[in-house]
Amino acid sequence: MAVYTEVSFEELEAFLAGYDVGAPLTFKGIAEGVENSNYFLQTAKGPFILTLYEKRVRADDLPFFLGLLEHLAARGIACPLPVRNRNGEQSARLGGRPAALLTFLNGLSLRRPEVSHCAAAGEALAAMHDAGSDFALRRSNALGHKGWGDLADACIPRADSVEPGLGELIRTTMDEITAQWPPQLPEGVIHADLFPDNVLFMDGKVSGLIDFYFACNDACAYDLAVMLNAWCFEPDAAFNVTKSKNLIAAYRRKRPLSKSEIEALPILASGAALRFLLTRLYDRLNHDPQALVRPKDPREYSKRLRFHRKVRSVAEYGL
C-alpha cells in the first residue's frame, strides 16, 4: 500500500456521496507498499480502506480482483470486501483513477513471523486456493515467466549501479529458469504476492488476507514458492528450513501437492525470486520521488535467487 495520488476533502465528499457509508470522520494516507494509493477512512458507519488503482493495475482487471474478493469472502476466506455504491458498482472514479471502497480488517501484519505464523499462513494459502477453485473469471499472470523478458531488458543496462554483477546474474538465470519452467502443473487462482505484510494476525491466528492485486490464474505451487521466498529467509539472508518445513506441511494438510509440484519447487522458487528481483529493481531504477513510499531493496532477492540456484534437492526446503 502507498500514496501516489492525493485526494482532497472535496473530492472525497463527492466520491462518498455515491455510497451509503455515512459522513467521513478520519481520512489519512497509508504510506506502505508499492502499487496503489491507499487511505484509511473512518466514517459514521465504521472503518474502510479507500484504494486508487495506479501503475500496474489496469481498470479492465478490476472485475477480476474485486469479484474474486466477493467470491472468496462468500466461501469463508477473511479478505476485504468491496463496498458497492448506490448504483451497485464495485468501483468508481476518484482523482482521475479507478477507485474502490473496501471493508477494513482487524489484525496486524508481522515483520518477523515465527514458525507458527509461517504454518498458519501456509494453511491460509491452501484454503484460499481451495475457495478460489470455482471462480468463473480468469486472468493470466502478467508477471509470470513469459513476461520477465521485457522487465529484464529494461533493468539490465543499469542493474550494476545497484549491485555489481547484477545484470549478468539476471541475464544468465532468466535464460536457465525459463528454459526449465515446468509445464502443466495444477493451476488455479493464486494470490501471487502473499508476503507477511499481506497477512493479518490476531492472537497468533490469521485474521485476514489482503492486497489481491497480483492475483491471477497460474500454478498453485508457484504461489507456495512465492511464500518460501517471502516468509522463510532471515534478515541475515539465511534460509530457515524449519519455517519452510512447517509452512509446506501446513499447506499440504489442506491441499496435497503432487509429485510433479514437489519436484518443481526449486525452479519455481528460483523463478519467484527472479520475479521480485526484477520488479523491485525496476521500481528502484524508476522511482517516483513524490511517492510517499521508498522502493524495497532488490538486493534481498538477488541473494535469495543465488540460494535457490544452488538447491539440489527438495530436502533443502524441509521436504
CATH number at residue 55: 3.30.200.20
Q: Within a domain: residue 110? A: no
Q: Looking at the domain assignment, is residue 4 inside a domain?
A: no
The pLDDT of residue 228: 98
Asked whether residue 71 falls in the same domain as residue 152, the answer is no
Question: Which of 103, 127, 157 is the C-terminal boundary of a domain?
Answer: 103
CATH for 152:
3.90.1200.10
- 255, 169: one domain: yes
| 172 is a domain residue | yes
Question: 56 with 97, same domain?
Answer: yes
pLDDT at 291: 60
Q: Are residues 177 and 278 in the same domain?
A: yes
Are residues 159 and 260 located together in one domain of the fold?
Answer: yes
Cβ contacts of residue 99 below 8 Å, gap of 6+? 15, 50, 51, 52, 53, 91, 92, 93
Q: State the amino acid at position 88 in one-letter form.
A: G
Query: What total number of domains does the chain contain?
Result: 2
Q: Are residues 211 and 281 in the same domain?
A: yes
User: Which domain, by its residues, includes 134?
Assistant: 115-317
What the block records as the C-alpha cell of 240 is 530457515
CA nearest neighbour of 247 among 268, 270, 221: 221
pLDDT at 33: 52
Burial class from Cβ neighbours inside 10 Å (0-12, 13-18, 19+) for residue 238 reads exposed
Cα–Cα distance measured from residue 288 to residue 290, given in angstroms and rounded to the nearest whole number: 5
46 and 93 in a single domain? The answer is yes
Are 213 and 275 in a shared domain? yes
Determine the pLDDT at residue 1: 43
Tell me the one-letter amino acid at 149: G
Q: What is the pTM of this model?
A: 0.93
Distance of CA 1 to the CA centre of its chain: 11
Please tell me the number of Cα atoms within 13 Å of 270 on its side-chain side: 25
Q: Is residue 74 part of a domain?
A: yes
Answer whether residue 109 is part of any domain: no
Q: With CA atoms as reference, report the closest residue to 123 among 251, 255, 252, 256.
A: 251
3-class DSSP assignment, residue 117: helix
Kindly state whether residue 1 falls inside one of the protein's structural domains.
Answer: no
Q: Does residue 125 sit in the same domain as residue 28?
A: no
Distance CA 126, CA 122 (A): 6
Indicate the residue among 57, 78, 103 that finishes a domain: 103
Q: Does 247 lie in the same domain as 267?
A: yes
d(CA 65, CA 82): 10
Intervals of the chain under pLDDT 50: 1
On whether both 55 and 185 belong to a single domain, the answer is no
- The length of the chain in residues reads 319
Q: Give the separation between CA 125 and CA 3, rounded to whole angstroms.
A: 27
Q: What pLDDT is recorded for position 71? A: 98
Same domain, 186 and 239: yes
